[in-house]
Amino acid sequence: MDHFDYKNGILSAEDVAISEIAEAVGTPFYCYSTATIERHYQVFAEALEGLPATICYAVKANSNLAVIKTLADKGAGADVVSSGELMRALKAGVPAKKIVFSGVGKTRDELAHALKEDILQINIESEPELHVLNEVAGEMGKKAEVAFRINPDIDAHTHDKISTGRSEDKFGIEWTRIHDVITRASKLPHIKIAGLAIHIGSQLTELQPFRDAFIRLRDIVAILRADGHAMTRLDLGGGLGIPYDDARTPSPADYGKVVKEVLGDLDCDLLFEPGRLIVGNAGILVTKVVYVKEGATRRFLILDAAMNDLMRPSLYDAKHNIVAVIEPNEGANLERVDVVGPVCETGDTFATELDLPAAEAGDLLAIRSAGAYGAVMASTYNSRDLIPEVLVKKGAYSIIRERIAAETMLSYENLPNWES
C-alpha cells in the first residue's frame, strides 16, 4: 500500500497535489511519501516481531539524507557499501552500532573509515579482504568485528543482473570453503568473528530461494559451532521483491514466517538489509509529455524524463506502471503508445505498446515504484540535469535535493592549459 492516490481528480502524494509540486519545482522530479516509507518499515518490523532483529536499511536503494533520516527516526540501522554511504548514514543520525558495511571491493581507506567510526560489523567477502582488514585494524590498534558473507550457490530466480548467490557470481565466500576460512580467521589477532551473512539477490518474487539459503546457513552454523566457533549474529541480507505491475510478491509476514521456521531457534541476533521493500513503492518519477509523435507503426509519447533519470527499464527491462497525474474520466479513450525519453538511444524506453488514456503535450505523468534504485542510479548522460527530489509529509512538501543543473556540472570541467 502507498499514499499516492487521486484526490479531487489529481494524483496526490499524501495530501499534496503532484501538479502543485510540478508547478513549483519543474519536471521531471522524484517525489517520495513519508507515510509510505514509514508504513513499509513498520510492516517489515511487525513481520519480524518476536525475533532478535535489527533492520539495517540498505542505503543504496535511496540514499537521500532525508529518506535515511526518516528511517533512522523510526529506529532503523543502515547497510552501507561505500564511505559515501557511511557518511550519509551517520549524518542522518543512524547510530554507528547499527551500521553494517557490505560490498565486494572495500578499499583500505573504506575499511579504515568503518573502523574509525566503530560500526557494528564489516561483512567480509573474500580472503584477501580479510587479510587487508586484519592489517588495517592492526595499524589502528583495533579489533574488527566481522561477519563472513557466504555464497550458498542458490539461484534466486530474479533478473540475471541482480542475482548474487550463485557460484558464478562475484559475491561471498563459497559455502564449501567457509569452514576453512573461518578456522584461519579465528587465529588473526585483529579480527573478531560475529557470524555469517548472506544476500542472494534483489527483487525476489518467491520465498523458496530464501528458505533454501537460510537452511544452508543454519547447517553451516551447526558445523561451525560444533567446532567451537560461537556464531552469535546472522545477517540475512535484503532482496524481498515488490509488485511493480500487478504481479504478486510474497508478503513480509510470510517472509518473517520462513525466517522464524528456519532460524528462529538458533539463538543468534539477526540483521536484515531491506532496501527496495522499504522505499520502492514510496516514490514516483513525475514527468511531462513533450511531444506526441506519430511514427510509422507506433505512436510515441516523448517525455522530459529519460533513461538517465530512471535506468531500471533500460538496464533490467523493468516495467513500471505509468499513470496520468490528472485522473482520467471513467471510460476514457485508451490509446496504444510507446512511452519514451528524449535520449538518443532506442533503449531509452519506459514502456512499449501500453494502453494509456489519450495524452497531449504538456500532460503530466507519474512513473510509479521509482523510490528504490531511481534517483541513486541517475546520471548526467546527454548532459542532462540531475533532477530534484521532493519529500512529502501530510500536507507539506520539501525539496530534499535541489536540481543539479548541467551548467553546474560544466563548471567542474577545465580546459587543459598546455603551452601548445
What is the footprint of ligand LLP within residues 21-60 (CB under 6 A)?
58, 60
What is the footprint of ligand LLP within residues 362-391 (CB under 6 A)?
372-373
Pairing of β 144-151 and β 173-174: parallel
Cα 316 to the center of its chain, rounded Å: 14
Q: Are 30 and 390 in contact (CB under 8 A)?
A: yes
How many residues bind ligand LLP, per CB under 6 A?
Answer: 21
Instruction: Find the shortest distance in angstroms from Cβ 341 to ligand LLP.
Output: 17
Instruction: Find the shortest distance in angstroms from Cβ 268 to ligand LLP.
Output: 18
In the block, residue with C-alpha cell 587479510:
131
Bridge partner list, 366: 286, 323
Pairing of β 322-324 and β 77-80: unpaired
Q: Which string of DSSP letters, residue by residue, matches 110-129?
A: HHHHHHHTT-SEEEE-SHHH
Q: Which amino acid is at 358?
A: A
- 344 as an active site residue: the answer is yes
Q: Report the distance separating Cα 134 and Cα 137, nearest Å.
A: 5
Binding ligand LLP by CB under 6 A: which of 28, 209, 274, 371? 274
User: Distance of CA 260 to CAs 165, 172, 203, 233, Å?
Assistant: 21, 24, 21, 15
277 sits near ligand LLP (criterion: CB under 6 A): yes
Q: Pick between residue 113 and residue 199 the one whose CB is nearest to ligand LLP.
A: 199
Q: Are 402 and 388 in contact (CB under 8 A)?
A: yes
What is the footprint of ligand LLP within residues 111-170 (CB under 6 A)?
162
What is the footprint of ligand LLP within residues 285-314 (CB under 6 A)?
312
Instruction: Find the shortest distance in angstroms from Cβ 162 to ligand LLP.
Output: 5
User: Distance of CA 83 to CAs 106, 126, 144, 342, Å?
Assistant: 9, 19, 16, 34
The site string for ligand LLP over 175-204 (x = CB under 6 A, - otherwise) reads: ------------------------x--xx-
Query: Which candidate, 85, 127, 81, places its Cα nearest to that of 107?
Result: 81
Instruction: Find the shortest distance in angstroms from Cβ 102 to ligand LLP.
Output: 4
Q: Pick between residue 140 and residue 162 the one whose CB is nearest to ligand LLP.
A: 162
Instruction: Find the shortest distance in angstroms from Cβ 151 to ligand LLP.
Output: 12
| φ/ψ bin of 354: left (φ > 0), alpha (ψ from -120 to 50), beta (otherwise) | beta
Binding ligand LLP by CB under 6 A: which of 27, 36, 102, 134? 102
Binding ligand LLP by CB under 6 A: which of 165, 275, 283, 341? 275
Ranges of beta strands (E only) in 313-376 are 322-324, 334-340, 349-357, 364-367
172 sits near ligand LLP (criterion: CB under 6 A): no
Q: Pick between residue 82 and residue 102 the one whose CB is nearest to ligand LLP.
A: 102
Binding ligand LLP by CB under 6 A: which of 3, 69, 88, 276? 276
Question: Could you tell me which stretch among 107-115, 179-187, 232-240, 381-389 binds ligand LLP (CB under 6 A)?
Answer: 232-240
User: Distance of CA 280 to CAs 54, 202, 271, 296, Å?
Assistant: 20, 12, 20, 36
Q: Pick between residue 81 and residue 324 the one whose CB is nearest to ligand LLP.
A: 81
Q: Pick between residue 337 and residue 372 the one whose CB is nearest to ligand LLP.
A: 372
Q: Pick between residue 209 and residue 239 the one whose CB is nearest to ligand LLP.
A: 239
User: Distance of CA 409 to CAs 84, 287, 311, Å?
Assistant: 19, 22, 20
Question: Could you tell me which stretch among 246-254, 271-279, 285-293, 380-388 binds ligand LLP (CB under 6 A)?
Answer: 271-279
Torsion of CA 132, 134, 139, 143, to 10 degrees: 150
Question: Could you tell me which stretch among 104-112, 256-264, 269-277, 321-329 binds ligand LLP (CB under 6 A)?
Answer: 269-277
Q: Are 342 and 306 in contact (CB under 8 A)?
A: yes
Angle at 142 between CA 138 and CA 144, to 5 degrees: 95
238 sits near ligand LLP (criterion: CB under 6 A): yes
Binding ligand LLP by CB under 6 A: which of 195, 237, 252, 313? 237
Q: Pick between residue 19 and residue 205 the one whose CB is nearest to ligand LLP.
A: 205
C-alpha cell, 88:
550519509
273 sits near ligand LLP (criterion: CB under 6 A): yes
| Residues 6 or more apart in contact with residue 417 via CB below 8 angstroms | none
Residues that bind ligand LLP (CB under 6 A): 58, 60-61, 79, 102, 162, 199, 202-203, 237-239, 273-277, 312, 316, 372-373
Q: Known catalytic residues? A: 344
